[in-house]
Structure 1
Amino acid sequence: MKLVIATPSPFARKVRVVLREKEIDFEEIIDVPWNRDTICTNFNPLGKIPVLLQEGKEPLFDSSIIVQHIEFMKKMPAMYPVSQKDAMLARVIETTADGICDALVLISLENTRKETLRSKDWTERQCAKIYNGIEYLSNKLGNKIYFVGEIFTIADVAVFSCLEYLDLRFSYFEWRRKHPNLENYWQKHKNRRSFSETRPVAQVIEPLNN
């Protein structure tokens, strides 16, 4: 089993973390999906990572779909709570974290454009999504150890990946200072093996021509 990833990607990281949590062996193939020489489009018509490759099977893409597939492959440890209420909450938190990351990616790409072509209004709109999303996550966490119930779930995987992506790309958002409960949360989980082995690493992206 192989997983096509980009090393800074919080979406690829979600899958990498889940595979480690479930102790499933796999090979990582590093790609830069924004560059012209990407291999990603060979497997995903949308040109996005991560992509899961399994011999004799259709490639799977979209991190949430891949995680659900992995959950079918090996149920324990479960990434989704048993109760419907908690499972839906975990998915909402995952979706919020993913949405924040989407906005971060859009800002990152906008910043690769020539300065005269960058849209301040567009960037500010993405920033609002990030600020609002982080505020929502902070409120949902409160003083708890985990986001949903008393177990580690996909919500924790997604949020932790999101927070460290913020550190990598946009440290000026200062989420630690503004939301000390999220800082405490990060401190409690930063040494978890599946997190420490998947720290995001920046890649060089080809600049956009327009």
Structure 2
Amino acid sequence: MNRILYYHPQSNFSRKIRILLAEKQIPYELKEINLMNKPPSFLEVSPIGKVPVLVDEDGTTIWDSSLIAEYIDEKYPEPRFYPADFRERLECRKWEELADTLGNKIISLWILNLTNKENPTPYQLMLEQSINYLFSVFEKELAQTEYLLGGEIWSIADISALCSFDYYNLRFNENWKLDYPHLKTWFDQLHQRESVYSTIPQSKQ
């Protein structure tokens, strides 16, 4: 059977896996899911009802972007996006989780703003504050290193983070680049890669 990735074109978590598969040059078939009207066939492979979901050639089915990414990196290890060393791997997972948390907060803020943009609730304001704080955390780290784990090699942590920042661009704006110069340099540099540039999410008209 063909390898299948169930996805949504604007999903930062789907994009995370698309970039990883492209970098490893792993062929796959894309199946777009309407998240507002999920077909029963999709819910059979994704009990949590979220994208992405990977169905590998042998039928192995995995949901959750971090579980998928780890599975892909273990099964198809060249090039590697998780460090082999235990402590370095732990550090990578911490940054990946932080990046995914940022992405989830941005999604939540955008959804709330759809119905309540003019009079934000305390929770919306708290989300904005939390997002801005996480931006500063990434800025502080990238002021010291070229990539989130240091050195000259990017990792799944960088992929996860850039997908979250690009999702912010999609739903809000790119004004953050004015306040976070090291983030901007890192972000623009990664967007020179074909796997990144070709998967930039586009707004639906």
Query: Alpha carbons of 1:115 and 1:167: their partners in 2 closer, same or farther (altered >3 Å)?
Result: closer
Task: Note if contact 2:100-2:164 (Cα within 8 Å) is conserved in structure 1.
Answer: yes
Amino acid at match of 1:31: I
**Aligned pairs, how many?**
201
- What per-residue deviation string (whole Å, max 9, x for no partner) do you get for residues 92-114 of structure 1? 11111111110111112223336
In structure 2, the gaps of 5 or more residues are none
Say which SS state the counterpart of residue 29 (structure 1) adopts: strand
Instruction: Determine which of 31, 34, 45 is the counterpart of 1:32.
Output: 34
Aligned ranges for residues 48-127 of structure 1 at < 5 Å? 48-113=50-115, 120-127=121-128
- The one-letter code of the counterpart of 1:101 is G
Report the CA distance shift for 1:187/1:73 in structure 2 as closer, same or farther (over 3 A).
same
User: Normalising by the residue count of structure 1, what TM-score does the alignment of the two structures yield?
Assistant: 0.87
Aligned partner of residue 6 in structure 2, secondary structure: strand
2:113–2:120 contact (8 Å) kept in structure 1:
no
For the aligned residue pairs, the C-alpha RMSD in angstroms reads 2.1
Hey, what's the Cα distance between the residues in 1 that align with 2:167 and 2:117?
Answer: 23
| Pair 1:145 & 2:153 matched | no
The equivalent of 1:160 in structure 2 is 162
Distance 1:41 1:109, change over 3 A: farther
Distance 2:139 2:169 in 1: 16
- The aligned residue for residue 2 of structure 1 is 4
- Distance of aligned partners of 1:169 and 1:73 in 2 relative to their CA distance in 1, 3 Å threshold: same
| Alignment check: 8 A CA contact 1:4 1:49 kept | yes
Deviation, 1:56, is: 4.8
Q: In 2, are the aligned partners of 1:86 and 1:149 still within 8 Å (CA)?
A: no
Task: Give the C-alpha shift of residue 201 in structure 1.
Answer: 2.1
Higher relative contact order (CA 8 A, sep 6+): 1
Query: Cα deviations across residues 86-133 of structure 1 (Å, max 9, x unaligned)?
Result: 2122111111111111011111222333679x7611211211221111
**8 A Cα contact 2:16 2:160, kept in partner:** yes
Q: TM-score normalised to the size of structure 2?
A: 0.89
| Contact 1:97/1:158 (<8 A) preserved | yes
Does residue 187 of the first structure (1) align with residue 188 of the second (2)?
yes
> Which moves more between the two structures, 46-55 or 98-107?
46-55
Matching residue of 2:24: 22
State the distance in 1 between where 2:95 and 2:182 align. 16
Equivalent AA in structure 1 for residue 139 of structure 2: S
- Determine what percentage of the aligned residue pairs are the same residue: 25
